[in-house]
Structure 1
């Protein structure tokens, strides 16, 4: 879970904004991104607070509350989705107009029953063969690089329609 990215997203900011505002290195922000709030340095908390125009105590309280909630990473466009996939978010909530595009990808995935039937019938070979074929298709595809990255990474996730405006993606390994 990339708690810092989720927190900044809820405050309509990004790590780059913190860097630009305070000069704190992006490498430092990246290193704390996947750590628990208790390991954040005072310097990091001060930089976040300054960027958001909040007190350090308020930022710490909000981060701790968010850490306890186990929040979803919210996605509104391809750039947000690429960031979530790069961070290997466990739960990704797709909202807004981008949901329609993701519904098309969801239609291309097999159901759990279909997948299980194929894997059992082929002794697992179909999974390996499918990945090889998909990699070859990506290699010769005329789609842009971002779309290729999304399509290859999205296979690690399951789709669940929450309502008319939201789709939840969650890692397949969380089912095991």
Structure 2
């Protein structure tokens, strides 16, 4: 399920970090709540969110359901947002601007799904694990190993579709099986 709460926060001009500064929610609790359907929020959670956001709980729930039922996706605009979405394995999200070039680079480095499946079959399922381990060790010697690891995670987890000149959509590969 898409992260409805993060989309709502972005619509209101708030980042997750800014929301967490008031310490009403821990990062873990917010991540857990964000992955749930807004209709399944407990009354306590909904009231806490509405209090922090200074909006009536019924209005908040209506807005969250509107986002849930729409085609809206989270739009990544910072490196921290990109890392967060990949770490949490967000179902789908958009990347804009400078990150589009990064997505082109990752897409060029991806092998076809047929080749990947053939490699898995030929190696008895252990090839990808060994290959990823070797790449992680090699990344230890890179100047920006965190970026290299992030690129590998994106390439492994997501399909990348270029929507236009400014946007690319990332979608978890497992959703397409």
* Shorter-chain TM-score range: 0.7 to 0.9
2:176 alignment partner in structure 1: 175
Q: How big is each residue's C-alpha offset from its partner over 1:62-86, in whole Å with a ceiling of 9 and x where there is no partner? A: 1012222364222122111111112
2:98 alignment partner in structure 1: 97
2:4 alignment partner in structure 1: 3
76-85 or 50-59: bigger deviation? 50-59
1:128 alignment partner in structure 2: 129
**1:115, distance to aligned residue in structure 2 (A):** 2.8
Report matched runs for 1:11-50 at 5 Å.
11-21=12-22, 23-26=23-26, 27-50=28-51
**1:120, distance to aligned residue in structure 2 (A):** 4.8
Judged with a 3 Å threshold, the aligned counterparts in structure 2 of structure 1 residues 93 and 172 are, in CA distance, closer, same or farther, namely: same
How many aligned positions are there?
Answer: 174
Distance 1:126 1:41 in 2: 44
The TM-score normalised by the length of structure 2 is 0.80
Gaps of 5+ in 2: none
The TM-score normalised by the length of structure 1 is 0.81
Matched, 1:152 2:152: yes
2:166 alignment partner in structure 1: 165
**1:37, distance to aligned residue in structure 2 (A):** 1.0
SS in structure 2 at match of 1:140: coil
SS in structure 2 at match of 1:158: strand
**1:41, distance to aligned residue in structure 2 (A):** 3.6
Shift >6 Å, 4+ stretches: none
Q: How big is each residue's C-alpha offset from its partner over 1:10-44, in whole Å with a ceiling of 9 and x where there is no partner? A: 322133333435x5132543331222212324444
